[in-house]
Amino acid sequence: MRYHVRIFSLALLLGGGATFVPLTSWGASCCGGGSATSLMVPKYAKAIADLSFDTEIYDGFWNQDGKHTSDPPGSDLKQYRVNLGYAQRFLKDWQASISLPYVLNDNRYSGQSTQSDGLGDTTLSLWYEAVEDKSSWRVYELKDMLPSVSLGLSLLLPTGISPYDDKNSSFDITGRGFYRLDGNLLIEKSIQPWSASVALAYGTYFERSINREYGKYVEPYRKQLGDRTSATASLGYTYVLGTGGDMLTGTLAYSYLAESEGSYNGVADSSSAFHKQAVGGTIAYANNDSDWSVRAGWNHAIQQDGWGKNFPTTDIFTVGVRYVLR
């Protein structure tokens, strides 16, 4: 069971875009690290380029009953990611983005030490800004409370290493091995110096045929992963430094991630369903023109019974830099 939890975590967190970063730390809006909402171009800009580095440390897991268990003594499970992202506004209210992680696995577990690296899964996104937030400083009438609303579609491409490639170890995995289409909703509101956001996503994987698992050929079968639901809520505060206009923003966030049970040849697999909850914080600095920004963040899975199911608990440390093209 513990081995299968490890398989799930490598494929999902590295290749599937599950990496969580508080939205308001990114300026206008994420899996940074692959999240569909992490690469949102501000209204005043034409494009953004982003580079970030993640260190993910594994420390235990929730079992099928939601009980948290620590890893065996001597275990040292780490994953490192370099995330490249670019987003382009091509019409007044339309934008598109791409996010690509490169993954390094460095693990020691049950006396086995392994290192591997490779591409993770690529995320392509298309967004439409349906409603614009008109108020940035003061609320004078009811319409000033109207938040911005963005609607999006994202497609996960299985460019990473999956259990269905020519690899014989779960520690080599960097992707899910499935296509997934997500519908996304992002709601944001700023009344300086405060900002808040809610991001919701619902995704469906495309069924595929399997004839190989961990380097060994098997009798072909059809596999379907369960539908995916995610939600993130964040609250941020921005402090203006001196008279130059440089800004320091602190953000706190909560996230929920779940997948329903998958199926094999149409037969449901109840053991494949999972969920997790996490909290996080980010500090971001932006210059007075908001062209350049740097950030540091921490995401923590709550290591207590009942806060997850059938999933590992991790701490994710992130540093990143972003440039806005006007």
> Cα 80 to chain center, whole Å?
14
φ/ψ (deg, to 5) at 7: -60, -50
Position 245 scores a pLDDT of 83
Q: How many CB atoms lie within 10 A of CB 157?
A: 16
Q: Nearest 5°: phi and psi at 15? A: -95, -20
| Alpha carbon distance 108, 92 (integer Å) | 50
Provide the residue-wise pLDDT of the chain in tens; the chain has 326 residues. 444 444 444 434 443 333 333 343 322 222 233 456 678 999 889 999 999 999 999 999 999 999 999 888 888 889 999 999 999 999 999 999 999 999 999 988 877 888 889 999 999 999 999 998 876 777 778 778 889 999 999 999 999 999 998 877 777 889 999 999 999 999 999 998 999 999 999 999 999 999 998 888 999 999 999 999 999 999 999 999 987 789 999 999 999 999 999 999 999 998 899 999 999 999 999 998 879 999 999 999 999 999 999 999 999 999 999 999 99
Q: Which helix (H) or strand (E) holds 222?
A: strand 216-224
CATH of domain 2-325: 2.40.128.130
* Three-state secondary structure call for residue 34: coil
The Cα–Cα gap between 74 and 322 comes to 37
Total-model pTM: 0.86
The two tokens of residue 113 are 């030490």
* Cβ proximity of 36 and 123 under 8 Å: yes
Report the distance separating Cα 28 and Cα 26, nearest Å: 6
Rounded CA-CA distance 308/301 in Å is 9
Rounded Cα distance, 231 and 116, in Å: 31
Residue spans per domain, the chain: 2-325
CB 316 within 8 A of CB 298: yes
